[in-house]
A and B are shown apart, each in its own frame.
Chain A
């Protein structure tokens, strides 16, 4: 559905996107992850044809974005960052206008507008002025606008930014539901979102792709899980003994109270430290009252890949 090769974008000497290539297949939901300023929005804007790339090629549904700009725009539903909207229009009026502009046949407009209002939970809002809506509702209007012409591909730039937890949940559910029919590329820096919604993540940092894989494979790559234990022992002795285990990369003292010490042990990538630590505790006869293992999460992968 999307094929990007060697994409570059320079802003007055600064390279925002430094030669990235990736593909998104029909029907996939792909998360586009990266810290602020990584080049996510620039890339998405180039995909929609809003920004011309400095170099590289973008094909959407087999069409070149620059040469077939108008046809590509018909196939893409785009929700921009910060969701710009015409504040002087009513919700229903705005969507009817957008549907017509995007080439929906006049006999289908009512149906399409009703559908997207319904999907985005805006059915009661059609007579409201957009300028008077709260941030959450504006976000939904933006989403409804992206959907209104039933595009093959949805490109959503931070669709849950600025929403409250309930709204975030409903938008996520909506995206999941939409993923059954549409191909979706969404950007975010909220990691649980990707874990909940996406099939695959592309992690981008400083204009380069750091990783692109399914979520499982990504976490497997950097298995630096952690183990929290609380034992009755002297802090110094316990730390030293644990550090000698070669499955652990570091040991940190979290608290020391009434003889109970809480320690955080970070495992080395690709190893499971549980058995070794358990053995040590048994041989040392340390009384144990907490033993908690944290799997490496996308967050760890993200931090590892994008840290300075």
Chain B
């Protein structure tokens, strides 16, 4: 990591926190996550037989929230620079392409992580509400958060790539949404089928399945490899695309 990377990362974080979009996303994410949690607690009171964690991380709302939030978060990363021409400022400064790609990636990824920070409070609230009668399973919780981090990194890298494809932010957001939704539903396809090579593959790429396994406290290293290599792949594609764009511009 060069010093140019950290200077650029600071700039990118500044750009995120200066934009109204960041606060809109933060507000809605916190609102929706809070609502889900509150609802789940009520279910618990009614005597539901699944855990709050399961309801939270396997619920439709959680995934919808991720699939909509990530595209909004990543759409401006490159598109805006191409649209306003400021990419020329970056590419004529002594900064390597990788510094640019990584600083943009980490700015969005760090913002994504800060979105999750308040949810840690829910665990404390849960302890307090239940009076500690139902112990929080620490390993399961940690695994869930690990997956949240990994899925986030991968989704953000897909969004970054889509943003470098076009100068139109709306198009970048929609492309990201389509890619992520496609991946998500492809993973769900295998759920109700007879077991075959196809379902094995579906299971391998299904974020929903990964979450289910981790919730039960089963650590599986395959998703870790899957998300990390996926992230690297999309970061490398973005860097290549920058070079190609230069040749064509």
Residues in chain A within 8 A of chain B (CB atoms): 45, 48-52, 70-71, 73-74, 76, 78, 80, 82, 84-89, 97-98, 100-103, 145
Partner of B18, one of A78, A85, A88: A88
Query: In this assembly, does B247 line the interface, its C-beta being within 8 Å of a C-beta of chain A?
Result: yes
- Chain A residue contacts of B84, Cβ below 8 A: 84, 87
* Chain B interfacial positions (CB closer than 8 Å to A): 3-4, 7-8, 10-11, 14-15, 18-19, 84-89, 91-96, 246-247, 249
A84-B84, A84-B88, A86-B86 in contact; A101/B94 too (CB < 8 A)? yes
Which A residues are CB-close (under 8 A) to B4?
101, 103
A73 touches B93 (CB 8 A): yes
Q: Which of B11, B88, B95 has the most CB of A within 10 A?
A: B88
- Give me 25 A-to-B residue pairs in the complex whose CB atoms sit less than 8 angstroms apart, sorted by A's number: A45-B88, A48-B92, A49-B91, A50-B246, A51-B249, A70-B95, A70-B96, A73-B93, A73-B94, A74-B94, A76-B92, A80-B88, A84-B87, A87-B84, A88-B18, A89-B18, A97-B11, A100-B7, A101-B8, A101-B93, A101-B94, A101-B95, A102-B93, A102-B94, A145-B89
Expressed in whole angstroms, the Cα–Cα distance for A50 and B247 within the complex equals 10
The reply to whether A88 and B19 form a contact with Cβ atoms under 8 Å apart is yes
A98 touches B93 (CB 8 A): yes
- Residues on the A chain within 8 Å of B15, using CB: 86, 88
**Which of A85, A101, A103 has the most B CB atoms < 10 Å from its CB?**
A101
B8 touches A50 (CB 8 A): no
State A233–B129 Cα separation when bound (angstroms).
Answer: 111
Which 9 pairs show the lowest CB-CB distances between chains A and B?
A84-B85, A73-B94, A84-B86, A88-B18, A48-B92, A74-B94, A70-B94, A100-B7, A78-B92
Among residues of A, the one whose C-beta sits closest to the C-beta of B97 is A69
Counting chain A CB atoms within 10 Å of each CB, which of B7, B89, B92, B95 scores highest? B92
Chain A nearest CB, measured from B240 CB (Å) = 14
Alpha-carbon gap, A103 to B7, bound state (A): 10
Q: With the chains together, A73 CA to B3 CA distance in Å?
A: 16
Q: Which residue of B lies closest to A75 (CB)?
A: B94
CB–CB B89/A80 < 8 A: yes
Q: For the complex, give the distance between the alpha carbons of A101 and B11 in Å.
A: 10
User: Nearest residue in B to A54 (C-beta to C-beta)?
Assistant: B247
CA separation between A85 and B85, bound complex, in Å?
8
- Report chain B residues within 8 Å CB of A88: 14-15, 18-19
Closest to B93 in A: A101
Please indicate the chain A residues that have their CB under 8 angstroms from the CB of B19 in the complex: 88
The winner among A51, A80, A86 for most chain B CB atoms within 10 A is A86
Q: Are B85 and A82 in contact (CB under 8 A)?
A: yes
Q: How far is the CA of A158 from the CA of B86 in the complex (A)?
A: 17
Contact B7 A84 (CB under 8 A): no
A101 to B84, CA, bound (A): 20
B16: min CB distance to chain A, Å: 10
Question: Smallest distance from the beta carbon of A73 to chain B beta carbons, Å?
Answer: 4
A74–B95 Cα distance when bound, in Å, is 9
Contacts of A86 in B (CB 8 A): 11, 15, 86, 89
Beyond A71-B94, A89-B14, 15 extra complex contacts between A and B, CB < 8 Å: A50-B88, A51-B246, A70-B96, A74-B94, A78-B92, A85-B89, A88-B15, A89-B18, A98-B89, A100-B7, A101-B7, A101-B8, A101-B11, A101-B93, A103-B94
Chain A's closest residue to B15 (CB) is A88
For residue B14, give the distance in angstroms from its CB to the closest CB of chain A.
Answer: 7
Query: B94 contacts which chain A residues (CB < 8 A)?
Result: 70-71, 73-74, 101-103
- Alpha-carbon gap, A85 to B90, bound state (A): 10
Q: Complex Cα distance A26/B75, Å?
A: 44
Residue of A nearest to B8 (CB): A101
Cα separation A78 to B85 with both chains bound (whole Å): 14
Tell me the complex Cα distance, A134–B247, Å. 33
Which residues of chain B have C-beta atoms less than 8 A from A80's C-beta? 85, 88-89, 92
Look across to chain B and name the residue whose beta carbon is closest to the beta carbon of A71: B94
Q: Which residues of B contact A48 (CB under 8 A)?
A: 92
Q: Are B89 and A84 closer than 8 Å at their CB atoms?
A: yes
A49, B4: Cα distance in complex, Å: 18
Question: Is the beta-carbon distance between B92 and A97 smaller than 8 angstroms?
Answer: no
Contact between A97 and B247 (Cβ–Cβ < 8 Å)? no
